[in-house]
Structure 1
Amino acid sequence: MGFFDLKAVCGVCENTVGMNRYKVRKSNAWVCPSCLKKAGGMTKVNISKVTIEELKSIIAAKEQLQHERENMDPMSTAEGMYQYCLDNKFGSGFNDKWGVKHFSVIESKLMKDEKVLMTFIGLHNYVSTTKHDNNYAYAITNKRILFAQKTITGEKFKAVNFDHLNDISFKKGMVFGVLTIDTLNEIFNVALDKYSAEAINNNIHQVLDEVRNVSKQPQVITSTVSAADELKKFKELLDMGVLTEDEFNAKKKQLLGI
């Protein structure tokens, strides 16, 4: 079928397409603008170097990633953790950009099957209004308490397992409310917004009580597609430029259970 034929069939969706179409030379076929856009567009996909089957695989992989994002627990992402703080008035940090950056450190340190239950932002190692370690992101998970801070030069991170936690107490001051996290090895004072500090403290204790009361569920082992095969597929998409490095690394962490 030639270029000047009025109609052709898209090799991906098999719908009839007019003159607005693109030649997939390796398959001697056509692809419609809609399917090309789903694959990433001309900037992501070099249609002179792919086949129709490869385009179908690219689109299927992108749709799978989109489906996983839509069904993902919002609290498993830095953006979701930060939004939880905003929605509950549990701190906002210096600005939105840095708030998400702090939580991105926590996101990268989450263990397999670790679920974030609540988050907040406060001034770490607070001594006075002029003496502290600036804003940190905090997360209470089903396994531990996490503290993190992103800086221009790097990042800081600490985790306290629940069996190393002595107590969490709260005191309201003139300017801030101060949360004291007492552990086996260290004591951390966190300055919080005066008007929401008490709510944060109450929520922390409620979450900790729920974690302690949850009985352990037996693990169910299910048969899945080989992680190596899945990883190979997404590595090919990375090499083709369809996936970004961040998207590939996130998928790699999920498949390997890191």
Structure 2
Amino acid sequence: MTKTCGICGNKISWYKLKFKDGAMCEKCLIKYKFGTKWKIKSTAMVAWCKDHSIETIKELINEGKNANDINTSDYTLKNQLKEIDKKQASLQENNASFNLSDELAKDTVDKINKLDLPTEFKQALITAKIFDIFAVKKELVFLPQIINLNNEKIIYACSGSLNGHTWLIVCTNQKIIFVNKNLLYGMQEKDIPLNAINAINYTQGAVLGSLSITNGANNFIIENVNKMAARIMAKKIQETQLNVLKVKSTNSSNTNYDELRKLKSLLDDGIITEDEFTAKKKQILNI
């Protein structure tokens, strides 16, 4: 390990710039314009230095030049290409994951069709591309008792562990439903309205993942979730919650406009004054 600067010979502190066969101290780094006390000039410069020797730098300095005279454009391009490759690899991984989840959902169709469920519920589960139904068949059969498909839609569902028991977690267009059937307590159900969820996060391990759903001061940690199902569930909850908020905002705006029209009619009929109309208008529009 290099302990002295290849340029001035002084001892090197924890901060240094590495070359192919040595390193540069902080003082020389600043003196010859390779960076500041806090950072290197650029990532392209770091890459250039790793490809060149201390002797090359000494020759540069002897010619009265510094880092500003070094052309790192090729290395800038290399870094850009590396970033593009990383993004493409990430996209391919995501696409592969979702394609795999689609295939798993197809394989689960027969299992869903064998459940003691009304046809419309089987179709709702198949349409939602659900595949993670490990150990929750009893809970799935219970769904018709808690979900009315006439006014509620199943968005996604998966299984996971909560407080040491396996639960079915269902996202609908209205709420998150937790369902568990055990010998001691019978059928248990918990609901969280989508507009009451403050945060949703997920983690992924080699095989399993987890979900974290925050509702006010309560934080539900669902473990042992299929890692693909964990990511899909988190995404579905976020998207559905956003749609709910948009609808709520639109409905609120429409209600405000209706109230303003009624007030304008009262003003035109002379029932209220201009000042009363203006005051009420500001109250409705929160201005």
Superposed pair shares fold, TM > 0.5: no
Bigger Rg, structure 1 or 2: 2
Normalising by structure 1, we get a TM-score of: 0.43
Normalising by structure 2, we get a TM-score of: 0.39
- In terms of fraction of residues, the more helix-rich structure is 2
